[in-house]
Structure 1
């Protein structure tokens, strides 16, 4: 496969709807992309500034300070004790890892990559780049022989689904039956809303209740883009099976995949500070409490969305019709068909707009509802 064989970038199809939304007298409310609008926390910006004398090449493996911070964060925030430096590895954001993992694992034609039915498109892209076959399935008992990599996304993008400990345990059991690597994309784990995730942590795939006493074949992926507003820093990491982490480290050294040294220092500081994470979560909670009832008043049903940055909404019509209706209100969403063929009547709306734009969108929705 060559780059030319990749499908067109899906968001290009949204351009006409963005143009319609921008024509609104009060301007566009862009709820289509989950890109943070709030400032990067001051404690993190100070840390970045402290490390700007970065004259030497950074370490692909990560600084000792960063690796210790990642391990401590998993123990403190995710209920995953006992990680050692050999179990963790920083990445240049999480998207590059999601896209490149099939390649770095040596997958190719004849191999199968399983991903969620409602899925971030990069899981499929990563499979197709190496000639593997992507299969969309949320049911472990249906995962086929020949699967070599299985992606779990909890909390999910776009639907906000959270996998329970029991569900994750069965997923890991099935992956081990198949001899497949299983990777949990957990980038929204700090953003639980509905019970029980409003009062207890979203489970990690590395939780001992899930994997028992062995991390073999299991990886967790996490990003600081959402919890810490570091999307522009490209700051993420993976953790888990030491054998796989070691193999990925070797490959990434050869490929020159290393986060810049100032970013590594900023990541370590961000991971040690829970205050800014709680503050940012409250911002998103407030926006969610404004937007969700307004969507419901306008005739949308919100499905799942128990965690994460999005509302997964439907009004029982074709997603592109909903996109048009919202665009006429000056609101830009993302069509559900971008996340697989199984949700042709859903749209995804992000909480990553300013308070003022969220309030404007809610006002327009309520006015349209009469």
Structure 2
């Protein structure tokens, strides 16, 4: 009795935290301080956060909907669902979409982190994602108590216990684009083994040397959405990272279950943001304008880093350059920080990235020009 009574209860909060790795970006803080001490200020290329203005028509839609005293719905307004299905049909080539095939979410990171839990996964289940990948895929598996598994090619995975297969094209961090043949093979393999495919396509509208295709395109999925969900976001295409607006498109049965779960959890996009999302999805001019900005910055940074001795791999899409000088990534981070340039170490995205850095081209034109000057010194 005495031994039992002296033991301390286990805190569920502490045990959940113990499942997770340290937050990787905290390790970058000393290098950020070094870069910030540069006489001309920091050039922060470490995080792909938008810096350009929110499009005027989106801000106007937000303002017009500001008088929204009532609760929004988790599924969103009919106008929002119309906008989501219409955009997915036009941009992704997805066929036969109904409102049941779409679901708005509160930013894509929230979705990635909590999807395994919302799918009911846990001990004994496996969640697979690319060997080089956004770290939140692993975090989501660990939050659910499932086993995270990395892959080089999805069809080489052991399907035993595998419940969720993440695809990511264009890739964060590498910018690699999976072709229709690769996506088709992955979908066929997953369907054969009854594995849900969730394709993170948040950078799909940012192809530079390739034309990314959605997992929901008929050439990939055969016209059926069964077992497939695509994740999309307005953070990058429309500079709406601060609005937390993203959405899912795909299998109505899967999204219907998620809708009911998210209703219980109150996971709803604010009503003014829903209206802003409708406006953003209905306009292509601002998307083209933003692409031109990024293309210009990408070209300037790529040329400067290559001239400084870096090799760029993949990077055919997304908002990043995947670069190496064939040295440990933290050595590269440290040397660039001395020049006032902050980049992300490749090992944030897996051990396979330990000799690479990820360079975002989301800084302003002025800061990009500063980086180019410093790299030439």
Q: TM-score range by the shorter chain?
A: over 0.9
Find 1:166's aligned residue among 181, 192, 205: 181
1:264 aligned residue? 274
2:255 aligned residue? 245
Question: Structure 2 CA distance, aligned partners of 1:326 and 1:262?
Answer: 41
8 Å contact 2:95–2:223 — kept in the other structure? no
| 2:206 paired with 1:191 | yes
Question: Structure 1 CA distance, aligned partners of 2:68 and 2:327?
Answer: 53
Question: Structure 2 CA distance, aligned partners of 1:81 and 1:333?
Answer: 40
2:125 aligned residue? 111
Query: SS at 2:104's partner residue?
Result: strand
2:324 aligned residue? 314
Q: Which consecutive residues of structure 1, in runs of 5 or more, have no partner in the other structure?
A: none
Question: Structure 2 CA distance, aligned partners of 1:81 and 1:5?
Answer: 40
| 2:39 paired with 1:18 | no
Question: Structure 2 CA distance, aligned partners of 1:5 and 1:189?
Answer: 32
**Deviation for aligned residue 1:117:** 1.1
Question: Structure 1 CA distance, aligned partners of 2:245 and 2:156?
Answer: 34
| 2:77 paired with 1:67 | no
Question: Structure 2 CA distance, aligned partners of 1:343 and 1:143?
Answer: 21
Question: Structure 1 CA distance, aligned partners of 2:71 and 2:223?
Answer: 37
**Deviation for aligned residue 1:360:** 0.5
Question: Structure 1 CA distance, aligned partners of 2:91 and 2:223?
Answer: 19
Find 2:136's aligned residue among 122, 135, 154: 122
Alignment size in residue pairs: 362
2:374 aligned residue? 364
Question: Structure 2 CA distance, aligned partners of 1:176 and 1:143?
Answer: 13
| 2:365 paired with 1:351 | no
Find 1:304's aligned residue among 314, 324, 339: 314
2:62 aligned residue? 48
After TM superposition, which residue ranges in structure 1, 4 or more long, deviate above 6 angstroms?
none
- TM-score, normalised to structure 1, is 0.96
Question: Structure 2 CA distance, aligned partners of 1:143 and 1:262?
Answer: 43
**Deviation for aligned residue 1:141:** 2.4
How far does the alpha carbon of each residue in 1:85-144 deviate from its partner, in whole angstroms, 9 at most, with x for none? 000000000011111110111100111100011100000000011111111113122112
8 Å contact 2:88–2:249 — kept in the other structure? no
Question: Structure 2 CA distance, aligned partners of 1:141 and 1:220?
Answer: 19
- Which stretch shifts more, 175-184 or 329-338? 175-184
Question: Structure 1 CA distance, aligned partners of 2:119 and 2:242?
Answer: 27
Q: Which consecutive residues of structure 2, in runs of 5 or more, have no partner in the other structure?
A: 1-14
Question: Structure 2 CA distance, aligned partners of 1:185 and 1:5?
Answer: 24
